Amino acid sequence: MSRPQPHSHRPRPPETADLLVIGSGIAGLSFALKAAREGRVLVITKKSRADSNTNWARGGIAAGLGPDDDPSLHLQDTLAAGAGLSRRDRVEMVAREGPDRVRELMDWGVRFHREGGRLSLGQEGGHSRRRIVRAGDRTGQEIERALLAAVADAPEIQVVQHLMAVDFVLEDGACVGVRALDHRSGAPVELRAPVTMLATGGAGQVYRHTTNPTVATGDGVAMAFRAGAPVANMEFVQFHPTALYPTRDPAFLMTEALRGEGAVLRRMDGSSLMEGVHPRGSLASRDVVARTIHAELARSGAPHVVLDVSAIPEAKLEARFPGAMEGCRAQGVDPYDEGIPVVPAAHYLCGGVVTDDWARTGLPGLFAAGEVACTGVHGANRLASNSLLEAVVFSHRAALELRRAREAGQAPRDHWPEAVAGLPLPAGQATSAGIEGSDRLRLRLRDLMWESVGIVRHGEELSRALAEVEAMLAAVPGSPATDPPHSAVVARTLDAVESRNMLEVGRLIVASALQRRESRGLHYRSDYPGPDDVRFLSDTVLTRAF
């Protein structure tokens, strides 16, 4: 049977492949391009191939490529942002290997911005040097374009859209494939492969206000956890300080690079918000800036703060930040008049499925890379623009591990590391949620997470939130429906699968936040306002309670 081309309208997925990739962002696509040297690769994505968090990344990708920069400086900035929980060896590896991965992206056709023949490097919060490689303020979109074009030219790679992974297929404790749902027809599909790469992105949609696209429902973390893979550091959710107000769904992101070029955060009365709060002012790390904005809004009752861009020449704004200017105008905001109204919004999940140096998870046969993974790089707070870098470095290392195993004559799952030990997921005191239907469950979860598990948290609210999430989780269907495949049934089934995943990820976030009785990085508890290095200078690792 002839294999449909990657861009055919509705390709039929093969039942087996040599390598299976779930997700079509930078992690999944860069892995697919390299893994294609080892065999036939099937990439599945639950929406269209360009729907990914990568496509929404506006700032850029961090790498020590400047004449005044080097990996040791990048290492120190990342460790400082990570608030004691970043693994030094992993950060050092990413900082060291990062420049080569960026050059490789350019070899694949990514057109980063240049000035005078050299890469134009931007400045962002927490960085001591200008090291943000960018394509205007649409860097993720440009990376996605180039990788999709490269994949389309690779005959060994097939991409199937509108196919949602539901749960992993397990045999003898190893991952051997995935059960999926074709949400155009409602047909269940089982795909088998000796190796699977999980690259499904983050979970911003569990919060009412988020910069993440609608596909970011935490599917990969929930699937891996159900299958028995440990997850870690789910309490560390990064809130980007500057989403355009009023927020839409998703919120429009005002890139941090604006502050790198001179934009300043101000209160409604025009006074500087960050002056005296942090030595780097408006370029402090995201956790500091987001909490400061949160405190100001609570104190003043104002609906937003203002990002003052008047220090940036108009020509420079229009040339370097066309996306930001377009987004402002679409919402009737004149950035040159009274500045840009901004508020924090959920942006990035620093925790995820635990992986080793080679992107292997605690489940043999399953790799993970990108936002779905917890590699130890970000620690308690991700440094700006390190996410795309981490994704491409660990995808590269996963491909190297595949090649090493082949050259050694080993099966792909030989010598997989032992699973990381962790604590069983604690149960809340479930009560009746009084809510029926996946849509209502999802809306209530997003409100609950924003109100009780947001930028500032408290133990009593976290306990109540855990109980309510447990009750809602008990009310959502556990598996895809088997009704006839007409559009209404398919839509309800897809929604139920996503809602279950969102609730399970919400439960992991709340339970982890309850266990960490301190404040560190992105996790701030008003009942434990300081760090506790004696008891909590370690990862929060959870395992499924069988």
Q: Please list the active-site residues.
A: 286
Q: How far apart are CA 466 and CA 463, in angstroms?
A: 5
Return the closest-CA partner of residue 203 out of 498, 513, 520.
498
Residues 186, 485 contacting (CB under 8 angstroms): yes
Specify the residue for token string 């696209």.
213
Q: What is the dihedral of CA 460, 461, 464, 470, to 10 degrees?
A: -120
Q: Which residues of 240-249 are buried (b: 16+ CB within 10 A; e: fewer)?
A: bbbbbbebee
Helix (H, G, I), strand (E, B) or coil at 296: helix
Q: Give me the helix-helix angle, 459-475 and 438-452, nearest 10°.
A: 170
- Burial (CB count <10 Å: 0-12, 13-18, 19+), residue 162: middle
Task: Classify 117 in phi/psi space as left (phi over 0), alpha (psi -120 to 50) or beta.
Answer: left
Q: How far apart are CA 2 and CA 361, in angstroms?
A: 34
Q: How far apart are CA 479 and CA 272, in angstroms?
A: 52
Q: How far apart are CA 261 and CA 537, in angstroms?
A: 35
Q: How far apart are CA 530 and CA 453, in angstroms?
A: 18
Q: How far apart are CA 117 and CA 237, in angstroms?
A: 38
Element (H, E) at 543: strand 541-543
Name 373's Cβ contacts closer than 8 Å, sequence gap at least 6. Answer: 198, 352, 353, 354, 355, 359, 361, 394
Q: How far apart are CA 361 and CA 229, in angstroms?
A: 7
Q: Which residues of 60-87 are buried (b: 16+ CB within 10 A; e: fewer)?
A: bbbbbbbeebbbebbbebbbbbbbebbb
Q: Which residues of 467-477 are buried (b: 16+ CB within 10 A; e: fewer)?
A: bbbbbbbebbe
Cα–Cα–Cα angle for 209, 212, 213, rounded to 5 degrees: 115
How is the chain split among helix, strand and coil, in percent rounded to 5? Answer: 35, 20, 45
Evaluated on CA atoms 249, 252, 255, 259, the torsion sign reads negative
Structure tokens at 214: 């609608």
Q: How far apart are CA 382 and CA 238, in angstroms?
A: 7
Q: How many CA atoms lie within 13 A of 386 on its CB side?
A: 34
The one-character DSSP state at 533 is: H
